[in-house]
Amino acid sequence: MAASHAERNGAAARFRLARRRFLAGGALAMGGAALAGCWKNANLLRSADAHPADYPTVAAVNEMGRLLRARSGGRLALKTYAGGQLGAEKDTLEIAILGGLDFTRVSIAPLSAVAEEAIVPTLPFLFRDARHMRAALDGPPGRKILAALEPHGLIGLCFYDAGARSFYTRGRRIERPEDLKGLKIRVMNSDMFVAMVEALGGDAVPMPYGEVYQGMLQGVVDGAENNWPSYESSRHFEVAPVYSLTRHVMAPEALLMSAKRWRKLSASDQDLIRECAADSVPFMRALWDERSRQAEARLRAAGVEIVAPDPAPFVEAVRPVWDRYLTKPALRALAEEIRDMRAADA
Ligand code: GTR
Protein backbone atom coordinates (compact mmCIF):
# COMPACT_ATOMS: atom_id res chain seq x y z
CA MET A 1 0.00 0.00 0.00
CA ALA A 2 1.41 3.44 -0.90
CA ALA A 3 2.35 5.57 2.11
CA SER A 4 0.43 8.78 2.64
CA HIS A 5 2.11 12.19 2.41
CA ALA A 6 1.83 12.59 6.19
CA GLU A 7 3.47 9.23 6.80
CA ARG A 8 6.28 10.13 4.42
CA ASN A 9 6.80 13.46 6.18
CA GLY A 10 6.76 11.72 9.55
CA ALA A 11 9.41 9.26 8.47
CA ALA A 12 11.57 12.05 7.00
CA ALA A 13 11.31 14.10 10.19
CA ARG A 14 12.21 11.07 12.32
CA PHE A 15 15.24 10.47 10.12
CA ARG A 16 16.40 14.11 10.32
CA LEU A 17 16.05 14.05 14.09
CA ALA A 18 17.99 10.81 14.42
CA ARG A 19 20.72 12.21 12.17
CA ARG A 20 20.96 15.46 14.16
CA ARG A 21 21.14 13.51 17.41
CA PHE A 22 23.79 11.30 15.91
CA LEU A 23 26.00 14.14 14.77
CA ALA A 24 25.58 16.31 17.86
CA GLY A 25 28.62 15.45 19.92
CA GLY A 26 30.83 18.39 20.83
CA ALA A 27 33.04 16.41 23.20
CA LEU A 28 33.47 13.70 20.63
CA ALA A 29 34.37 16.24 18.00
CA MET A 30 37.18 17.39 20.28
CA GLY A 31 38.19 13.79 20.89
CA GLY A 32 38.33 13.28 17.14
CA ALA A 33 40.55 16.30 16.63
CA ALA A 34 42.84 15.18 19.43
CA LEU A 35 43.06 11.73 17.93
CA ALA A 36 43.87 13.22 14.53
CA GLY A 37 46.69 15.20 16.11
CA CYS A 38 48.34 12.01 17.35
CA TRP A 39 48.59 10.49 13.90
CA LYS A 40 52.26 11.08 13.15
CA ASN A 41 52.87 8.57 10.40
CA ALA A 42 50.69 9.54 7.47
CA ASN A 43 51.01 6.08 5.93
CA LEU A 44 49.86 4.19 8.98
CA LEU A 45 46.09 3.92 8.80
CA ARG A 46 44.05 3.25 11.92
CA SER A 47 40.88 1.25 12.29
CA ALA A 48 38.54 0.60 15.22
CA ASP A 49 36.52 -2.46 16.20
CA ALA A 50 34.23 -3.21 19.14
CA HIS A 51 35.25 -6.88 19.14
CA PRO A 52 38.29 -8.54 20.74
CA ALA A 53 41.45 -9.19 18.74
CA ASP A 54 40.58 -12.80 17.85
CA TYR A 55 37.11 -12.03 16.42
CA PRO A 56 36.54 -12.59 12.66
CA THR A 57 35.90 -8.89 11.90
CA VAL A 58 39.24 -7.91 13.46
CA ALA A 59 41.05 -10.75 11.70
CA ALA A 60 39.49 -9.67 8.38
CA VAL A 61 40.61 -6.06 8.74
CA ASN A 62 44.09 -7.28 9.74
CA GLU A 63 44.10 -9.41 6.62
CA MET A 64 43.17 -6.36 4.60
CA GLY A 65 46.11 -4.53 6.22
CA ARG A 66 48.43 -7.38 5.35
CA LEU A 67 47.35 -7.20 1.70
CA LEU A 68 47.70 -3.43 1.71
CA ARG A 69 51.21 -3.54 3.07
CA ALA A 70 52.29 -6.25 0.63
CA ARG A 71 50.69 -4.66 -2.43
CA SER A 72 51.97 -1.16 -1.64
CA GLY A 73 55.51 -2.48 -1.16
CA GLY A 74 55.37 -1.57 2.55
CA ARG A 75 54.31 2.05 1.93
CA LEU A 76 50.84 1.71 3.51
CA ALA A 77 50.04 -0.10 6.74
CA LEU A 78 46.95 -0.53 8.87
CA LYS A 79 46.54 -1.00 12.60
CA THR A 80 43.30 -2.11 14.24
CA TYR A 81 42.37 -0.94 17.73
CA ALA A 82 40.19 -3.82 18.89
CA GLY A 83 37.97 -4.33 21.93
CA GLY A 84 36.25 -0.95 21.73
CA GLN A 85 39.45 0.91 22.75
CA LEU A 86 38.49 3.90 20.60
CA GLY A 87 34.89 4.00 21.78
CA ALA A 88 31.49 2.58 21.00
CA GLU A 89 30.44 2.14 17.37
CA LYS A 90 28.40 5.34 17.33
CA ASP A 91 31.49 7.25 18.51
CA THR A 92 33.98 5.72 16.09
CA LEU A 93 31.58 6.42 13.24
CA GLU A 94 31.35 10.02 14.27
CA ILE A 95 35.12 10.38 14.67
CA ALA A 96 35.66 8.82 11.22
CA ILE A 97 33.16 11.25 9.67
CA LEU A 98 35.06 14.11 11.30
CA GLY A 99 38.37 12.77 9.96
CA GLY A 100 39.94 11.74 13.29
CA LEU A 101 40.04 8.04 12.45
CA ASP A 102 40.84 6.44 9.07
CA PHE A 103 38.66 3.32 9.20
CA THR A 104 36.01 1.82 11.39
CA ARG A 105 34.37 -1.59 11.26
CA VAL A 106 30.85 -1.42 12.62
CA SER A 107 27.49 -3.09 12.34
CA ILE A 108 25.40 -1.44 9.61
CA ALA A 109 22.70 -0.78 12.25
CA PRO A 110 24.00 2.52 13.72
CA LEU A 111 24.56 3.79 10.16
CA SER A 112 20.82 4.10 9.77
CA ALA A 113 21.13 7.54 11.39
CA VAL A 114 23.66 8.55 8.72
CA ALA A 115 22.00 7.36 5.50
CA GLU A 116 18.48 5.94 5.16
CA GLU A 117 19.61 3.28 2.68
CA ALA A 118 21.51 1.63 5.54
CA ILE A 119 18.20 0.78 7.19
CA VAL A 120 17.28 -1.64 4.41
CA PRO A 121 19.67 -4.55 5.19
CA THR A 122 18.67 -4.31 8.87
CA LEU A 123 14.96 -4.94 8.16
CA PRO A 124 13.64 -7.96 10.05
CA PHE A 125 13.33 -11.18 8.05
CA LEU A 126 14.66 -9.56 4.86
CA PHE A 127 17.25 -12.20 4.00
CA ARG A 128 16.24 -15.85 3.70
CA ASP A 129 19.69 -17.13 4.63
CA ALA A 130 23.42 -16.35 4.44
CA ARG A 131 23.56 -17.17 0.75
CA HIS A 132 20.80 -14.70 -0.06
CA MET A 133 22.44 -12.04 2.10
CA ARG A 134 25.83 -12.49 0.48
CA ALA A 135 24.39 -12.39 -3.04
CA ALA A 136 22.42 -9.21 -2.29
CA LEU A 137 25.35 -7.44 -0.68
CA ASP A 138 27.82 -8.49 -3.39
CA GLY A 139 25.41 -7.31 -6.08
CA PRO A 140 23.76 -4.02 -7.09
CA PRO A 141 21.78 -3.55 -3.83
CA GLY A 142 24.95 -3.77 -1.73
CA ARG A 143 26.79 -1.37 -4.02
CA LYS A 144 23.91 1.13 -3.79
CA ILE A 145 23.95 1.01 0.01
CA LEU A 146 27.72 1.51 0.28
CA ALA A 147 27.65 4.37 -2.26
CA ALA A 148 24.85 6.11 -0.32
CA LEU A 149 27.25 6.71 2.59
CA GLU A 150 29.69 8.83 0.61
CA PRO A 151 27.81 12.16 0.73
CA HIS A 152 27.73 11.70 4.52
CA GLY A 153 31.49 11.52 5.00
CA LEU A 154 32.07 7.77 4.79
CA ILE A 155 33.45 5.56 2.05
CA GLY A 156 31.73 2.18 2.21
CA LEU A 157 34.41 -0.39 1.35
CA CYS A 158 32.77 -3.75 1.94
CA PHE A 159 30.31 -5.77 3.96
CA TYR A 160 31.22 -8.62 6.27
CA ASP A 161 28.96 -11.35 7.63
CA ALA A 162 27.25 -11.10 10.99
CA GLY A 163 24.98 -14.14 10.82
CA ALA A 164 21.48 -14.01 12.24
CA ARG A 165 20.57 -12.29 15.49
CA SER A 166 18.37 -14.01 18.07
CA PHE A 167 17.02 -12.98 21.47
CA TYR A 168 18.58 -14.08 24.73
CA THR A 169 17.36 -13.43 28.23
CA ARG A 170 18.29 -13.87 31.85
CA GLY A 171 15.58 -16.49 32.24
CA ARG A 172 12.50 -16.21 30.08
CA ARG A 173 12.10 -18.47 27.05
CA ILE A 174 10.97 -16.53 23.99
CA GLU A 175 8.63 -18.88 22.18
CA ARG A 176 6.14 -16.33 20.84
CA PRO A 177 6.30 -12.53 20.48
CA GLU A 178 4.06 -12.24 23.60
CA ASP A 179 6.92 -13.66 25.65
CA LEU A 180 8.84 -10.41 25.13
CA LYS A 181 6.11 -8.46 26.90
CA GLY A 182 7.43 -6.59 29.94
CA LEU A 183 11.06 -7.44 29.10
CA LYS A 184 13.68 -4.71 28.70
CA ILE A 185 15.73 -5.73 25.69
CA ARG A 186 19.00 -4.03 24.85
CA VAL A 187 19.28 -2.97 21.21
CA MET A 188 21.93 -1.31 19.08
CA ASN A 189 21.83 2.39 18.39
CA SER A 190 19.17 2.25 15.67
CA ASP A 191 15.59 3.50 15.61
CA MET A 192 14.66 0.51 13.45
CA PHE A 193 15.80 -1.90 16.16
CA VAL A 194 13.78 0.02 18.74
CA ALA A 195 10.69 -0.14 16.50
CA MET A 196 11.21 -3.85 15.85
CA VAL A 197 11.47 -4.82 19.53
CA GLU A 198 8.45 -2.66 20.33
CA ALA A 199 6.45 -4.26 17.49
CA LEU A 200 7.24 -7.62 19.08
CA GLY A 201 5.99 -6.39 22.44
CA GLY A 202 9.27 -5.78 24.31
CA ASP A 203 10.72 -2.58 25.78
CA ALA A 204 13.75 -1.59 23.72
CA VAL A 205 16.75 -0.05 25.49
CA PRO A 206 19.52 1.28 23.19
CA MET A 207 22.89 0.72 24.87
CA PRO A 208 26.53 0.43 23.68
CA TYR A 209 27.70 -3.15 23.20
CA GLY A 210 30.41 -2.81 25.85
CA GLU A 211 27.82 -2.06 28.55
CA VAL A 212 25.45 -4.94 27.93
CA TYR A 213 27.10 -7.53 30.18
CA GLN A 214 26.92 -5.24 33.22
CA GLY A 215 23.46 -4.07 32.18
CA MET A 216 22.15 -7.62 32.24
CA LEU A 217 24.05 -8.52 35.39
CA GLN A 218 22.51 -5.61 37.24
CA GLY A 219 19.06 -6.10 35.74
CA VAL A 220 19.06 -2.76 33.89
CA VAL A 221 18.00 -4.92 30.95
CA ASP A 222 16.54 -8.43 30.94
CA GLY A 223 18.11 -9.54 27.71
CA ALA A 224 19.55 -8.61 24.35
CA GLU A 225 19.88 -10.06 20.86
CA ASN A 226 22.90 -11.10 18.86
CA ASN A 227 24.51 -13.84 16.77
CA TRP A 228 26.25 -16.94 18.19
CA PRO A 229 29.84 -15.59 17.98
CA SER A 230 29.03 -12.28 19.72
CA TYR A 231 26.86 -13.99 22.33
CA GLU A 232 29.85 -16.18 23.13
CA SER A 233 32.79 -13.75 22.88
CA SER A 234 31.00 -11.06 24.95
CA ARG A 235 30.25 -13.80 27.53
CA HIS A 236 26.67 -12.55 27.65
CA PHE A 237 25.60 -16.19 27.93
CA GLU A 238 26.93 -16.23 31.49
CA VAL A 239 24.28 -13.75 32.61
CA ALA A 240 21.60 -14.49 30.01
CA PRO A 241 21.68 -18.24 29.45
CA VAL A 242 18.42 -18.71 27.51
CA TYR A 243 18.92 -18.28 23.74
CA SER A 244 15.78 -18.31 21.57
CA LEU A 245 16.52 -18.87 17.89
CA THR A 246 14.29 -16.17 16.43
CA ARG A 247 16.91 -15.22 13.77
CA HIS A 248 14.96 -12.01 13.27
CA VAL A 249 17.67 -9.86 11.65
CA MET A 250 20.76 -10.49 9.52
CA ALA A 251 22.21 -6.96 9.68
CA PRO A 252 25.71 -7.21 8.17
CA GLU A 253 28.91 -5.54 9.30
CA ALA A 254 30.48 -2.74 7.25
CA LEU A 255 34.07 -1.60 6.80
CA LEU A 256 34.14 2.14 6.28
CA MET A 257 36.76 4.74 5.61
CA SER A 258 36.70 8.40 6.54
CA ALA A 259 35.92 10.36 3.34
CA LYS A 260 38.14 13.18 4.63
CA ARG A 261 41.12 10.83 4.79
CA TRP A 262 40.12 9.16 1.52
CA ARG A 263 40.26 12.43 -0.39
CA LYS A 264 43.90 12.89 0.65
CA LEU A 265 44.91 9.64 -1.05
CA SER A 266 45.99 9.26 -4.66
CA ALA A 267 43.51 7.59 -7.02
CA SER A 268 45.78 4.55 -7.24
CA ASP A 269 45.93 4.19 -3.44
CA GLN A 270 42.14 4.50 -3.32
CA ASP A 271 41.87 1.70 -5.87
CA LEU A 272 44.32 -0.40 -3.88
CA ILE A 273 42.32 0.06 -0.66
CA ARG A 274 39.09 -0.93 -2.39
CA GLU A 275 40.76 -3.97 -3.88
CA CYS A 276 42.30 -5.12 -0.56
CA ALA A 277 38.98 -4.61 1.25
CA ALA A 278 37.14 -6.66 -1.39
CA ASP A 279 39.76 -9.39 -1.15
CA SER A 280 39.35 -9.61 2.63
CA VAL A 281 35.66 -10.57 2.23
CA PRO A 282 36.05 -14.25 1.23
CA PHE A 283 38.67 -14.60 3.97
CA MET A 284 36.19 -13.22 6.52
CA ARG A 285 33.34 -15.43 5.31
CA ALA A 286 35.38 -18.59 5.73
CA LEU A 287 36.42 -17.51 9.23
CA TRP A 288 32.86 -16.52 10.05
CA ASP A 289 31.35 -19.85 9.05
CA GLU A 290 33.89 -21.71 11.12
CA ARG A 291 33.56 -19.41 14.11
CA SER A 292 29.75 -19.60 14.07
CA ARG A 293 29.85 -23.40 14.11
CA GLN A 294 32.39 -23.43 16.94
CA ALA A 295 30.57 -20.81 19.01
CA GLU A 296 27.27 -22.66 18.73
CA ALA A 297 28.89 -25.98 19.69
CA ARG A 298 30.72 -24.44 22.65
CA LEU A 299 27.59 -22.69 23.90
CA ARG A 300 25.53 -25.87 23.64
CA ALA A 301 28.25 -27.71 25.54
CA ALA A 302 28.32 -24.95 28.17
CA GLY A 303 24.65 -25.67 28.89
CA VAL A 304 22.94 -22.67 27.31
CA GLU A 305 19.20 -23.38 27.09
CA ILE A 306 18.17 -23.21 23.44
CA VAL A 307 14.62 -22.50 22.34
CA ALA A 308 13.49 -23.06 18.73
CA PRO A 309 10.36 -20.93 18.20
CA ASP A 310 8.09 -21.00 15.16
CA PRO A 311 9.17 -17.90 13.16
CA ALA A 312 5.72 -17.23 11.63
CA PRO A 313 4.21 -15.07 14.44
CA PHE A 314 7.44 -13.06 14.65
CA VAL A 315 7.41 -12.41 10.89
CA GLU A 316 3.77 -11.30 11.15
CA ALA A 317 4.36 -9.01 14.14
CA VAL A 318 7.16 -7.03 12.48
CA ARG A 319 5.29 -6.32 9.22
CA PRO A 320 4.37 -2.76 10.30
CA VAL A 321 8.07 -2.02 10.82
CA TRP A 322 8.70 -2.46 7.11
CA ASP A 323 5.89 -0.03 6.29
CA ARG A 324 7.13 2.47 8.81
CA TYR A 325 10.65 2.61 7.35
CA LEU A 326 9.85 2.13 3.68
CA THR A 327 7.71 5.18 3.09
CA LYS A 328 10.03 6.47 0.34
CA PRO A 329 9.52 4.64 -2.97
CA ALA A 330 13.28 4.31 -3.57
CA LEU A 331 13.82 2.61 -0.21
CA ARG A 332 10.88 0.27 -0.73
CA ALA A 333 12.20 -0.60 -4.19
CA LEU A 334 15.61 -1.41 -2.71
CA ALA A 335 14.09 -3.66 -0.05
CA GLU A 336 11.87 -5.40 -2.61
CA GLU A 337 14.77 -5.83 -5.02
CA ILE A 338 16.59 -7.73 -2.26
CA ARG A 339 13.54 -9.66 -1.04
CA ASP A 340 12.60 -10.75 -4.56
CA MET A 341 16.03 -11.98 -5.63
CA ARG A 342 15.44 -15.36 -7.21
CA ALA A 343 16.95 -18.45 -5.64
CA ALA A 344 19.12 -18.72 -8.76
CA ASP A 345 20.74 -15.34 -8.00
CA ALA A 346 21.04 -15.93 -4.31
C1 GTR B 1 27.71 -7.59 16.87
C2 GTR B 1 28.40 -6.73 15.84
C3 GTR B 1 29.02 -5.54 16.49
C4 GTR B 1 28.05 -4.80 17.37
C5 GTR B 1 27.28 -5.75 18.27
C6 GTR B 1 26.16 -5.04 19.02
O7 GTR B 1 27.09 -8.68 16.23
O8 GTR B 1 29.43 -7.49 15.24
O9 GTR B 1 29.55 -4.72 15.47
O10 GTR B 1 27.22 -4.06 16.62
O11 GTR B 1 26.73 -6.83 17.55
O12 GTR B 1 25.17 -5.69 19.30
O13 GTR B 1 26.30 -3.86 19.35
Task: Point out the ligand 1 atom lying closest to the alpha carbon of residue 226.
Answer: 7
Nearest-CA residue for ligand 1 atom 9 is 107
Task: Point out the ligand 1 atom lying closest to the alpha carbon of residue 251.
Answer: 7
Average the pLDDT over each of 33-47, 99-113, 152-166, 329-343 and give the range with the smallest value: 33-47
Question: How much is the pTM?
Answer: 0.90
Please list the residues that pair with 81 across neighbouring strands: 48
**Per-domain boundaries in the chain:** 2-118+129-161+252-290, 165-250+300-339
What are the distances in angstroms from CA 13 to CA 67, 324, 333? 43, 12, 21
CA atoms within 13 A on the CB side of 29: 5
* Rounded CA separation 328/336 (Å): 12
Q: Residue 343 carries which side chain, given as an amino acid letter?
A: A
43-70 confidence digits (pLDDT tens): 999 999 999 999 999 999 999 999 999 9
* Rounded CA separation 221/205 (Å): 7
* Rounded CA separation 170/1 (Å): 39
* Rounded CA separation 162/97 (Å): 23
How would residue 342 be classed by pLDDT, with cut points 50, 70 and 90? confident
130-147 confidence digits (pLDDT tens): 999 999 999 999 999 999
* Rounded CA separation 337/329 (Å): 12
CATH number listed for the domain at residues 2-118+129-161+252-290: 3.40.190.170
CATH number listed for the domain at residues 165-250+300-339: 3.40.190.170
- How much distance in Å is there from the Cα of 72 to the middle of ligand 1? 31
310-327 confidence digits (pLDDT tens): 999 999 999 999 999 999
Pocket of ligand 1 (CB under 6 A): 50, 89, 106-107, 162, 188, 209, 226-227, 230, 253
The answer to whether the 2-118+129-161+252-290 and 165-250+300-339 domains have the same CATH topology is: yes
Nearest-CA residue for ligand 1 atom 13 is 209
230-247 confidence digits (pLDDT tens): 999 999 999 999 999 999
Nearest-CA residue for ligand 1 atom 11 is 226
Average pLDDT over residues 211-240: 98
* Rounded CA separation 322/300 (Å): 33
- How much distance in Å is there from the Cα of 60 to the middle of ligand 1? 15
CA atoms within 13 A on the CB side of 53: 3
Q: Are strands 165-169 and 223-226 parallel, antiparallel or unpaired?
A: antiparallel
Mutate to test the pocket of ligand 1, among 58, 86, 103, 107 (most ligand atoms within 8 A of CB): 107
